[in-house]
Amino acid sequence: MEEGKLDIHEYQAKEILANFGVATPRGAVAYSPDQAVYCATELGGWHWAVKAQIHSGGRGKAGGVKLCKTYNEVRAAASDMLGKTLVTNQTGPEGKIVQRVYIEAAEPFDREIYLGFVLDRKVERVRIIASRFGGMEIEEIAKEHPEEILQVVVEPAVGLQAFEARELAFGLGLNLKQVSRAVQSMLGCYRAFRDLDATMVEINPLVVTKDDRVLALDAKMSFDDNALFRRSAISDMRDHSQEDPREVQAAEHNLNYVGLDGDIGCIVNGAGLAMATMDMIKYAGGAPANFLDVGGGASPERVAAAFRLVLSDRNVKAILVNVFAGINRCDWVAEGVVQACRTLNVNVPLIVRLSGTNFAAGREIIVNSGLPIISADTLADAARAAVEAAGQAPARSLN
């Protein structure tokens, strides 16, 4: 999960959108091959799609979507997917584990359309993006067919208007019957986006069937995780198995954490200072392994939790603690650092830079601890020391 947003599964997104009037194919979620077959029998018909439920696009190309004509094929497809790691062009080489599949009634369609709603932070508006080239990633469409991308920026005072949705639908080449149904789906998507604090709704593809129905064949939704306190139903849809386990662990301790690809672990108080610390590490020739803001109340317990979190990343070869204490106190942080070093296996070089409230007392605790902690007076000095230490440190093992 990226910082600031919560993703949900396709079947959850479709359930939400259906409640806002968006037409979707009939389907059901299954957690075992037998349950998948039962879902197919309940749905009826003789054609079904078995879809792996992971937080990623590109599932079809990776074998995560299979069309089936018999119950045995449904069972085999579900068995092939469940419990396996699916690697797509969006998951990275580590992939994501499939713990549930979605069984959907499959029927032929004539056309595929791309439809997306995103929060454009630059203009502080919801931007709608549509294209007659559905089934492709929006980046591919923009690159190969830029002239086919239609856009509408919604005025928040009045919301998406029916005439704007109709204009989009006609621009996509739909006929009169199809336009009215597409407009219903567009207005439903916008209401879901607005009413549930979403940051993205993507239907790719939105398909047109032979009898002029317009169905959301796939759906993705993301939500602002800062608004989850008022969206308990959305929060309950969170699937921790699809998230970085380090970020899940951080959330349990109210730590703001984002894993990165470098080798210098960062423990910092304040988001702005954390960004500046990462910048300084890059300027010194290194690469941060994470963004970690321990917040204003960096108690010894929270600092120790931050150390456990950073050390769980096998790529970390050095740790930089950078604290500018205002509401916080340097002696509290120093106690947390010493406590962590004594109770945890901190087997990497540790660089500490303290400044602000009770700075002298904090430095004294560090010096008197007798631990091999490198102290730095400035952030630039700390970053240079961390980069040098990481460059000399051997590869780590978590065993």
User: What are the residue numbers of the active site?
Assistant: 114, 202
Q: Does residue 269 have a known ligand-binding role? A: yes
| Residues 346/311, Cβ–Cβ less than 8 Å | yes
Residue with tokens 């007392």: 361
Q: Does residue 89 have a known ligand-binding role? A: no
Q: Does residue 356 have a known ligand-binding role? A: no
* Cα–Cα distance, 76 to 69 (Å, whole number): 12
With the CA atoms of 11, 194, 191 and 13 taken in that order, what torsion angle do they form, in degrees rounded to the nearest 10?
0
Q: Does residue 51 have a known ligand-binding role? A: yes
> Can you read off the two tokens belonging to residue 32?
């075992």
The DSSP code sequence of 176-214 is HHHHHHHHHHHHHHHHHHHHTTEEEEEEEEEEEETTS-E
Nearest Cα to Cα of residue 63 among 76, 41, 79, 80: 80
Query: Could you tell me the strand order of the sheet in which 65-68 lies?
Result: 27-30, 101-105, 48-52, 65-68
Looking only at the bridges linking them, the beta strands covering 350-356 and 373-375 are parallel
Q: Does residue 19 have a known ligand-binding role? A: no
Nearest Cα to Cα of residue 11 among 44, 54, 40, 46: 54
Helix, coil or strand: residue 114: strand
| Residues 289/316, Cβ–Cβ less than 8 Å | yes
Q: Does residue 204 have a known ligand-binding role? A: yes
Buried b (16+ CB within 10 A) or exposed e, 55-91: bbbebeebebbbebeeeebbbbbbbbbbebebbbeeb
Q: Does residue 83 have a known ligand-binding role? A: no
Question: How large is the C-alpha radius of gyration of the chain?
Answer: 25
* Cα–Cα distance, 364 to 361 (Å, whole number): 5
Q: Does residue 147 have a known ligand-binding role? A: no
Q: Does residue 256 have a known ligand-binding role? A: no
Q: Does residue 107 have a known ligand-binding role? A: yes
Q: Count CB atoms within 10 A of the CB of residue 214.
A: 27
Distances (CA, A) of 383 to 175, 276, 386: 62, 11, 5
The annotated binding site for substrate is made up of: 269
Binding positions for ATP are 51, 58-60, 104, 107, 112
Residue list, annotated binding site for Mg(2+): 204, 218
